[in-house]
Amino acid sequence: MRLGVLDVGSNTVHLLVVDAHPGARPLPAWSYKASLRLAEHLDGDEAIDAAGEEELQASVREALEVATDRGCEDVLAFATSAIREASNAAEVLDRVRETCEVDLEVLPGDDEARLTFLAVRRWFGWSSGRLLVVDIGGGSLEIAAGIDEEPDAATSLPLGAHRLTRDWFAHVPPSGDEVKKLRTYVRSQVASMMRDVVKVGDPDLVVGTSKTLRSLARVGGAAPSSAGLYERRSLRRESLLEWLPRLAGMDPDELADLPGVSPRRAHQLVAGAVVADAVLDLFGAESLEICPWALREGVILRRLDWISGR
């Protein structure tokens, strides 16, 4: 069957169209992205403003039209932290349902972590042993760990790259003091949840998903996307430590010129690097493997499991 997965995140509305069948890997058939940056449309009361809601509806309508044009039998639509934490989320979702005729399911942060973990487990297989999975989104950081398909620990923290850039950096590039204060805050937040993750056992493999980690890996010398889906890519902490002070001194245009960095996300790369460094250091990991599958694939796999009665 042909399925569409509509992901409304902090930075983008992303429709992934796949050909999927129980017992088989989902095959990507089409991808549609629209820049949204919902987090920039929050007012003083943390409500999505009228302009943001209008852009959201337009992007969702366009994505649904693409899904129809591409022959999708069903569209699995969900929203993450930007809508999840908005004070007027219920009203916005009601109007999206009315105008776009689609129900956006708001995923709790720990569900994001679990579904991403499922996708990573299926990608790397049982031979990878106990996994520690890290995803740095625009609004939140998800971490999950375990040895089965359902993680033994799954958590979400408000440490997304866009959120931290907005809340902690008043200058472009950020000042050294701003980076230092962010580093202290991020490490305290990650440390606060480490016990729940560490107690499930040491990981055999540390894995990263998300555009932020892929970009940092590419900056550090990982293969480009043109090398193919199955090319091994990793982010080494040694490389991250070398690049972090250099990234902090670049303006967004200079960051966007780096390999693997998109112009619309360039401004948040420094905050993402601070989070990545904190996670690798505090968990004692020298590197992490980049997984091409993440939350969207996890949503698809969970639906296929449901169809097959697993």
Given a contact cutoff of 8 angstroms between Cβ atoms, the answer to whether 22 and 40 are in contact is: no
* SS3 state at 90: helix
Total H helices, total E strands in the chain: 11, 11
Average pLDDT over residues 71-83: 94
Task: Say if 2-106 and 124-295 have the same CATH topology.
Answer: yes
Q: Is the peptide bond before 173 cis (omega within 30 degrees of 0)?
A: yes
| Sign of the dihedral defined by the CA atoms of residues 157, 182, 201, 125, in that order | positive
Question: Structure pTM?
Answer: 0.95
> What is d(CA 250, CA 270) in angstroms, rounded to the nearest whole number?
9
- How far CA 119 is from CA of 54, 114, 123, 294, in Å, comes to 32, 9, 6, 6
Please check the confidence at residue 309 and state whether its pLDDT lies above 80.
no
Tell me the CATH architecture of domain 2-106: 2-Layer Sandwich (3.30)
Q: What is the pLDDT of residues 237-291, one digit of tens each?
A: 999 999 999 999 999 999 999 999 999 899 999 999 999 999 999 999 999 999 9
The predicted pLDDT at position 253 comes to 96
Provide the H-helix boundaries in 220-293: 237-248, 252-256, 269-282
Annotated domain spans of the chain: 2-106, 124-295
What percentage of the chain reaches a pLDDT higher than 70? 99
Closest-CA residue to 161 (of 235, 270, 247): 270
Using an 8 Å Cβ cutoff, are 145 and 153 in contact?
yes
State what percent of residues in the chain have pLDDT above 90.
Answer: 89
CATH class of 124-295: alpha beta
The predicted-structure confidence for 97-151, as pLDDT tens digits, reads as follows 999 999 999 999 999 999 999 999 999 999 999 999 999 999 999 999 999 999 9
Residues paired with 207 in a beta bridge: 133, 289
